[in-house]
Amino acid sequence: MLLEVHGVNKFYSKQVHALRDVSLSLPEGSIGLLGPNGAGKSTLLKILLGLLPPTDGSVQVLGFDATTRALDLRQRVGYMPEQECYVAGLDAVETCTYAGELCGMPTKDARERAHAVLAFVGLEDKRYMKVQTYSTGQKQRVKLAQALVHDPELLLLDEPTNGLDPAGRDEMLTLIRQLPERRSCSIMLSSHLLPDVEAVCDSAILLNEGQVMYSGLIAQMRGEQRDTYEVRVKQGAQELVQVLEQAGCEASLHDGALWVHLPPGAQTDLIFARAIEHEIQVRHLTPLKQSLESAFLRLLEQAQEAQ
């Protein structure tokens, strides 16, 4: 397993309980770390890196105990922090070389890898410029490059698209999507931008007030709503809503599509029959799948109702 976390609690004080009995067991892959502000995401990342000890519980990452073998672990994990992390006066090659040396690489090897990863992130022609002169997007790319320089088995990314314009965001996500195949590494992406996670990750961890609300495949998190369908028609959508409501369905319009919840025992034949009766052409009918955002909000609402 990539991560094995059992019964982890983290207290910063008697009043601040950042993580509450967190247990996770996840295989290799691309994992999203989700949660509202103050959910405990940054605390969990620091514990996985061995930078912060848990108050109690056990943590293993890549088979290493994150408390007793933190240095060995960090030689195999790359970290792209949310905040700027460059040393003033260094160019991109020097920055990435230094990061490699900190992970135990010989200077020559670290410098060779620095050139390679800077080419990968698209900064080959700017690698000798001082990092402080870079734009926000270029600084984000340097942060990704320094996290990759030692060829990590796991890459922890904290808000990697922070501050980027739409074009820069798409370019960064494209780079990240390539990593599992091109660099043979797993990814944990922490972000408040749910489309970023949905675009890159297969699995997700949802934290709320320090507790794990969900851990597993994003496809299962979204799920399918039983007896609820998305229907698209050529024309007459509003008329079909009224017709289906008269037939005992719950129907509503969402961005041009009908969301139809069938009454108990009914089948999709009901939708087609009512549409044919009123000469409405059905072009699309499929079980309704929630977006990641909808599933995220639903789980948070369930957590609040349970309190």
Answer whether 260's CB lies under 8 Å from 229's CB: yes
Residues 46-51: contacts with CB within 8 Å, 24+ apart? 47/8, 47/10, 47/19, 48/3, 48/5, 48/77, 48/156, 48/188, 49/73, 49/74, 49/77, 49/79, 49/156, 50/74
- CA 75 – CA 151 distance, rounded (Å): 9
Instruction: Specify the pLDDT at position 294.
Output: 73
DSSP category for residue 43: H
40 vs 293, which has greater pLDDT? 40
- CA 175 – CA 155 distance, rounded (Å): 13
What mean pLDDT is predicted for residues 106-112? 97
Instruction: Specify the pLDDT at position 289.
Output: 72
Q: Is pLDDT above 70 for 290?
A: no
Q: Is pLDDT above 60 for 291?
A: yes
Least confident of 131-140, 225-234, 275-284: 225-234
φ/ψ region of 242 (left if φ > 0, alpha if ψ in -120 to 50, else beta) reads alpha
Q: Is pLDDT above 60 for 146?
A: yes
Q: Is pLDDT above 90 for 124?
A: yes
Q: What is the pTM of this model?
A: 0.78
Q: Which two tokens stand for residue 103?
A: 């992970």
Q: Is pLDDT above 90 for 37?
A: no
Helix axes 136-148, 107-120, angle to 10 degrees: 130
Domain architecture of the chain: domains with CATH? 3-220 (3.40.50.300), 224-289 (3.30.70.100)
Instruction: Specify the pLDDT at position 301.
Output: 74
Segments of the chain assigned E as strands: 3-11, 17-26, 30-34, 56-61, 64-65, 77-80, 154-158, 186-190, 203-208, 211-217, 224-233, 250-254, 257-261, 282-289
pLDDT, one tens digit per residue, over 215-229 is: 988 888 876 566 789
